[in-house]
């Protein structure tokens, strides 16, 4: 790759610990519909592919559930209203982002979380990040693992795929990076285990945010 000039981050499980707020919104939806609630572990295994897929995996009837559309609408409203109650940056990730910014690395967030929430959370917790884009298929930008969102972010940052690194915590992120033509770094503090990531083709790992920063800066200097 060329010298790294930019980093594209996933949000949930990469920059922010959001699992409890996501689980609370899922379970509020289940209670609203009179369905059984779910554990953190079940929701952890179900996130990453957007709201519709999350509810396909957590509603008893899946995508065929007769109240699926109602569930999606209720979940979106509930999560939007309560997305910041238990959410927090992972330990050390704020320092990592600020260090990369100090070295002139451009940054963006690309997430399957709804666009308005993605933008709001990014601005609140990571003001050093230049841009953020969430799920916005109504505008013709397909959700991950389609490459659309990544290409949109690269255009905003003014860099090519060869000049950027993608950072995420899931198989969706690995496939997204592959589809967009970016090198990917898989973080090990998020919603998937190393074994799952390896099974999906992960080769480069960061065990801590500090290690992630070191990997990016080495690539900025073209040292690996």
The residues, ordered by sequence, that sit 6+ positions from 43 with a Cβ below 8 Å of its Cβ are 19, 22, 23, 26, 54, 58
Q: What percent of the chain has pLDDT over 70?
A: 99
Residues 147 and 44 reside in one and the same domain: no
Question: How much is the pLDDT for 85?
Answer: 95
Residues 36 and 122 reside in one and the same domain: no
Provide the whole-model pTM: 0.91
Helix axes 115-125, 68-82, angle to 10 degrees: 20
Residues 197 and 172 reside in one and the same domain: yes
Which of 57, 82, 107 delimits the end of a domain? 82
Residues 100 and 205 reside in one and the same domain: yes
CATH number of the domain enclosing 162: 3.40.50.1000
Tokens representing residue 134 in the block: 């969430």
CB atoms within 10 A of CB 188: 16
Q: Which of 32, 47, 112, 45 is nearest to 77 (CA)?
A: 32
What average pLDDT does the structure give for the chain? 95
The distance from CA 208 to its chain's CA centroid, rounded to whole angstroms, is 17
- Asked whether the predicted pLDDT for residue 44 surpasses 70, the reply is yes
Of the listed 10, 12, 21, 169, which one is catalytic? 10
Question: How much is the pLDDT for 1?
Answer: 62
- DSSP states along 107-175: EEEEEEEEHHHHHHHHHHH-TT--EEEEEBGGGTBPPTTSSHHHHHHHHHHT--GGGEEEEESSHHHHH
10 is catalytic: yes
**pLDDT per residue over 168-195, tens digit each?**
999 999 999 999 999 999 999 999 999 9
For residues 192-210, average pLDDT? 96
Query: 50 versus 27: which is more confidently predicted?
Result: 27
CATH number of the domain enclosing 75: 1.10.150
Q: How confident is the model at residue 223 (pLDDT cuts 50, 70, 90)?
A: low
- Asked whether the predicted pLDDT for residue 224 surpasses 70, the reply is no
Question: How much is the pLDDT for 34?
Answer: 97
46 is in which domain, residue-wise?
Answer: 19-82
**pLDDT per residue over 133-172, tens digit each?**
998 888 888 999 999 999 999 999 999 999 999 999 999 9
- Asked whether the predicted pLDDT for residue 96 surpasses 90, the reply is yes
| Residue 1, domain member (yes or no) | no
Cα 9 to Cα 69, 72, 97: the distances in Å are 30, 25, 10
Task: Give the total number of structural domains in the chain.
Answer: 2
For residues 52-70, average pLDDT? 95
Residues 150 and 59 reside in one and the same domain: no
């Amino acid at each position: 790759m060329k010298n790294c000039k930019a980093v594209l981050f996933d949000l949930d499980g990469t920059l922010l610990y959001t699992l409890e707020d996501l689980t609370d919104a899922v379970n509020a939806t289940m209670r609203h519909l009179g369905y059984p609630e779910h554990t953190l572990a079940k929701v952890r295994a179900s996130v990453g592919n957007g709201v519709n897929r999350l509810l396909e995996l957590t509603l008893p009837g899946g995508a065929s559930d007769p109240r699926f559309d109602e569930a999606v609408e209720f979940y979106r409203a509930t999560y939007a209203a309560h997305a910041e109650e238990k959410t927090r940056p992972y330990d050390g990730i704020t320092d990592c982002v600020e260090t990369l910014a100090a070295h002139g690395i451009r940054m963006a967030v690309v997430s399957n979380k709804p666009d308005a929430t993605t933008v709001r959370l990014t601005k609140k917790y990571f003001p050093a990040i230049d841009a953020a884009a969430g799920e916005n298929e109504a505008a013709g930008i397909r959700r991950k693992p389609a490459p659309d969102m990544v290409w949109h972010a690269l255009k905003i940052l003014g860099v090519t795929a060869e000049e950027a690194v993608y950072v995420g915590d899931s198989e969706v992120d690995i496939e997204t990076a592959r589809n967009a033509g970016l090198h990917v770094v898989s973080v090990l503090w998020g919603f998937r285990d190393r074994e799952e990531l390896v099974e999906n083709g992960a080769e480069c790992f960061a065990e801590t945010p500090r290690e992630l920063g070191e990997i990016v800066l080495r690539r900025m200097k073209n040292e690996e």
